[in-house]
Amino acid sequence: MRIAKKERQKLLTSTIKENPFITDEELAEKFAVSVQTIRLDRLELSIPELRERIKNVAEKRFEDEVRSLPLEEVIGEIIDMNLDKSAISIFDVKEEHVFKRNKIARGHHLFAQANSLAVAVINDELALTAKANIQFIRSVKQDERVIAKAKVRKINADHGRTFVDVQSFVNNELVFQGEFEMYRS
pLDDT in tens, 118-130: 999 998 888 899 9
What are the boundaries of each domain within the chain? 5-47, 58-184
CB 11 within 8 A of CB 31: yes
Architecture of domain 5-47: Orthogonal Bundle (1.10)
Task: Give the pLDDT of residue 61.
Answer: 57
Query: Which amino acid is residue 27, in one-letter code?
Result: L
Neighbouring C-beta atoms of residue 161, cutoff 10 Å: 15
Task: Give the pLDDT of residue 96.
Answer: 96
CB 143 within 8 A of CB 114: no
Which mean pLDDT values do the consecutive 10-residue runs of the chain (185 residues) have? 87 87 88 92 88 66 57 80 91 95 96 95 90 97 95 90 96 96 90
pLDDT in tens, 19-47: 877 889 989 999 999 999 999 999 999 88
Fold annotation for 58-184: Thiol Ester Dehydrase; Chain A (3.10.129)
Neighbouring C-beta atoms of residue 66, cutoff 10 Å: 22
Task: Give the pLDDT of residue 55.
Answer: 67
Task: Give the pLDDT of residue 62.
Answer: 56
